[in-house]
Structure 1
């Protein structure tokens, strides 16, 4: 499925356009506030360029197993890096993992929920997945609230899951199944 465009009333997901989106992604991935609960430290320009090069290449893969998308406001401003990765370790299991990073100046406006809801729409409505899951830092309480709000169930803790900043960190896993998915009443439009 390429290109992907999903739209809600205030946020859209679209394919990344490297190198045009480098500065916007650097404002997200280069910010220590944003990466505090992620699995990596703030990235520099070279690392962001490599990330976008990889994302745009993966977007044209056959079959496509990674959807790294720009979350944008109606103004065109990139406000988040959104990702859905299809599970290739267990073919036929029909599941995917989501993740996102929202620009710090966009926090506390409900935009993270809209970004994740669009990822869930992509996974369930467009790709026909059965299960979608995400993992968060135990200290990321905003992510916990967001996933619960969207109907994702907390499954448990993976102990010493990631080595981040020289220390082992646990991850808390949340998931939602296709029959549990309840999109918000305001329909998002989609284009392929």
Structure 2
């Protein structure tokens, strides 16, 4: 099993565990935090199920799903959640997603989190391409992805069935060679 423990300047990433359920419910169960996600806020039991599935996926070989607690480096409190899913048919490509507690918004944490995820995917997992999709209305996610070095690729029409109905997604991606050149 590949256990994740990544530490950046302002954030850490580690595998989720059952002690994180309440902290993750503060994100998954929050209407503001899930506004641009394709589901309604989750119950505490639903979040516990998500964590249990993630723990089982962490033991899989090869591991394809990484559900990670986002922690602040000082007190190690869970302030967000990050997801990296390696595609089965294209094992050098992965999709990312993230969520932060609303009290963390507006501080550049989303950009730092995306950079940390890209570094983990490219350096630790040897991925070639990492992509993420966002709601067209989620301008903070757009800015975070662009600032972190991802490129906007385009729109997928009626991509997600959200609680309000079908919505488009805007896709952003990073390629390892392009990303490495940003670091020079």
TM over 0.5: yes
**Aligned-partner Cα distance in 1 for 2:156–2:117:** 23
**Aligned-partner Cα distance in 2 for 1:50–1:30:** 13
Structure 1, unmatched stretches of 5+, are 186-192
Contact 1:82 1:101 in 2 (8 A): yes
Q: Which residue of 2 aligns with 1:22?
A: 21
Residue 80 of structure 2 is aligned to residue 80 of structure 1 = yes
* Regions of 4+ moved over 6 Å: none
The total of aligned residue pairs comes to: 182
User: Could you state the TM-score of these two structures normalised by the residue count of structure 1?
Assistant: 0.91
Contact 1:70 1:81 in 2 (8 A): yes
| Equivalent in 159, 162, 165 of residue 164 of structure 1 | 162
Query: Cα distance, 1:184 vs. partner?
Result: 8.0
**Aligned-partner Cα distance in 1 for 2:72–2:34:** 21
Contact 1:121 1:183 in 2 (8 A): no
Query: Cα distance, 1:182 vs. partner?
Result: 4.2
**Aligned-partner Cα distance in 1 for 2:36–2:170:** 12
**Aligned-partner Cα distance in 2 for 1:144–1:79:** 20
Query: Cα distance, 1:89 vs. partner?
Result: 2.6
Q: Which residue of 1 aligns with 2:128?
A: 130
User: Could you state the TM-score of these two structures normalised by the residue count of structure 2?
Assistant: 0.95
Any idea what SS the aligned residue of 1:33 has?
coil
The 5 A counterparts of 1:88-167 are: 88-91=88-91, 94-167=92-165
**Residue deviations 1:56-75 (CA, integer Å, cap 9, x gap):** 11111111011110000121
CA RMSD in angstroms, aligned pairs only: 1.4
